[in-house]
Amino acid sequence: MTPFKYSPRPGTPAVLEPQLDGDVKSERLDALQALLNAQQQAFNAACVGRVLNVLLDRPGRRPGQLVGRSPYMQPVHAQAPESVFGTVQPLRITDGFANSLAGVTERAVA
């Protein structure tokens, strides 16, 4: 996946220097993306077992599921009663995935 490659900007030193071959740019971007993905997965895995305060601000894809963001901006999916929609809830993180977390409510207070 190569969403963006460096491109020179007018007035910067990179405009004057020889540019790298497109294949080299792609290889470097792929390596950087792989490193970032590995770090994100490791961070998400390290959240498992922790209790994070999550603002549950949207319904999930599954029935009875709400979604919010952790203090670290990861999406967190949890089975939770609709009565807690729009509130901050302590969620015990049960799973860490590549791009999100799963959690369960520690308490459900409307």
> Looking at residue 69, which CATH number applies to its domain?
2.40.50
For tokens 């949890």, the residue is 78
33 and 69 share one domain: no
Question: Which tokens is 17 given?
Answer: 């220097």
pLDDT at 11 over 50: yes
| Domain with 33 in it | 13-46
Indicate whether 5 pLDDT > 70. no
User: How many separate domains does the chain show?
Assistant: 2
Long-range contacts of residues 68-77, Cβ cutoff 8 Å, at least 24 apart:
70/101, 72/43, 72/47, 74/44, 74/47, 74/99, 74/100, 74/101, 75/99, 75/100, 75/101, 76/52, 76/100, 76/101, 76/102, 76/103, 77/101, 77/102, 77/103
Query: Per-residue pLDDT tens for 22-72?
Result: 888 889 889 999 999 999 999 999 999 999 999 999 999 999 999 999 999
* C-alpha–C-alpha distance, residues 57 and 61, integer Å: 13
76 lies in the same domain as 89 = yes
Higher pLDDT, 71 or 3: 71
85 and 56, same structural domain?
yes
One domain for residues 97 and 56: yes
- Which secondary-structure segment (H or E) carries 59? strand 51-59
